[in-house]
Each structure stands twice: as C-alpha cells, then as structure tokens.
C-alpha cells in the first residue's frame, strides 16, 4: 500500500518476528555499541552507517535509517528477507532496532569496506587490485547474486540503496 505503515503494524510484525534471526536491539543498545555514533563509515540515500561492537566484541556496521526517506514496508522487507539469508558472499544482518521513528539495521562488519569503495576508491587513481583478485571478487559477487536469485528460500529483490 502507498501510505507509510503505522507504528502499530511495524511493532506487531517485529514482535512476531523476534523469535527468528536477527536480534532486536534498543536504541540505547545502538548508542552503546557505536560509542554514541562516534565513527561514521559512510552515508547513503536512506541514512548513515557507523562502526560498532556487540557486547561480545564482534565488530558490526550499524545502518541508521531516516524514516522520512524510507517507509515501513522497505524496513520490514529488509529485516524479513535479508535477516534469513546466510551465504558467505552476502553480508549478514545480525540485528535491527525499531523504536517509534528510530530505525536501524545491524550488519556484520566488512573490514575492507564496500565493494564500491574498493573499486572506485578515488577518481584520480584507478583500483590497484590485481586481475586475479578482481576475478576472485567478481566470482564471489556472482555466487552471492546466484544464491539470492535461486538458492535461497526467500524471494529477494535487489535494489540500490
């Protein structure tokens, strides 16, 4: 439907979903794990990404979502679909936060950054990866996409965020 999902609809879905992966975090949890959103890794069309650490010291990337730019349907779709995806070539959603209008997704941390940043790191200098490494990356991306389209039990719609 065209309208934004009501807060109650979002809360009902998330309450029913919490027994499955990923874990639900409070906004206070996110502030603790990111040291009050201290280290920004990047920014996209729907919000910002910060470096964080789970209580077990596992590094994570916390993607905050500006609710004015994203509706509840997109948020729920990402939690419901990506939260059930487990593949070595697809970043894993570990958790989420939804407190009224504060929404965020907690992903496993990729120490080398995004593929986009690796390939297009600077407009002045080309990517300095060897062809063998580029081939390895391309095969990994292809395997991840193949899994999302054919091997996974969820219907995944890929889109740019």
Q: Which of 91, 72, 58, 76 is nearest to 17 (CA)?
A: 76
97-110 burial by CB neighbour count: b if 16+ within 10 A, else e? bbeeeebbbbbebe
Give the N- to C-terminal CA distance of the chain in Å, as an integer. Answer: 21
The vertex-54 CA angle with 136 and 92, nearest 5°, equals: 35
Residues belonging to the chain: 161
Q: Was 69 annotated as part of a binding site?
A: no
Pick out the residues of the known binding site for ATP: 63
Pick out the residues of the known binding site: 63
């Amino acid at each position: 439907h065209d309208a934004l999902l009501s807060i109650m609809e979002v809360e009902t879905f998330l309450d029913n979903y919490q027994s499955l992966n990923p874990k639900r975090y409070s906004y206070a949890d996110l502030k603790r794990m990111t040291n009050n959103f201290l280290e920004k890794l990047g920014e996209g069309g729907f919000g910002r990404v910060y470096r964080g650490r789970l209580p077990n010291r596992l590094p994570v990337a916390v993607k905050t979502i500006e609710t004015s730019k994203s509706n509840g349907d997109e948020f729920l779709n990402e939690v419901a679909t990506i939260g059930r995806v487990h593949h070595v070539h697809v970043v894993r959603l570990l958790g989420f936060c939804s407190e009224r209008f504060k929404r965020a997704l907690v992903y496993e941390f990729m120490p080398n950054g995004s593929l986009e940043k690796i390939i297009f790191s600077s407009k002045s200098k080309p990517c300095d990866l060897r062809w063998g490494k580029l081939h390895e990356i391309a095969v990994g991306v292809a395997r991840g996409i193949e899994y999302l389209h054919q091997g996974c039990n969820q219907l995944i719609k890929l889109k740019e965020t």
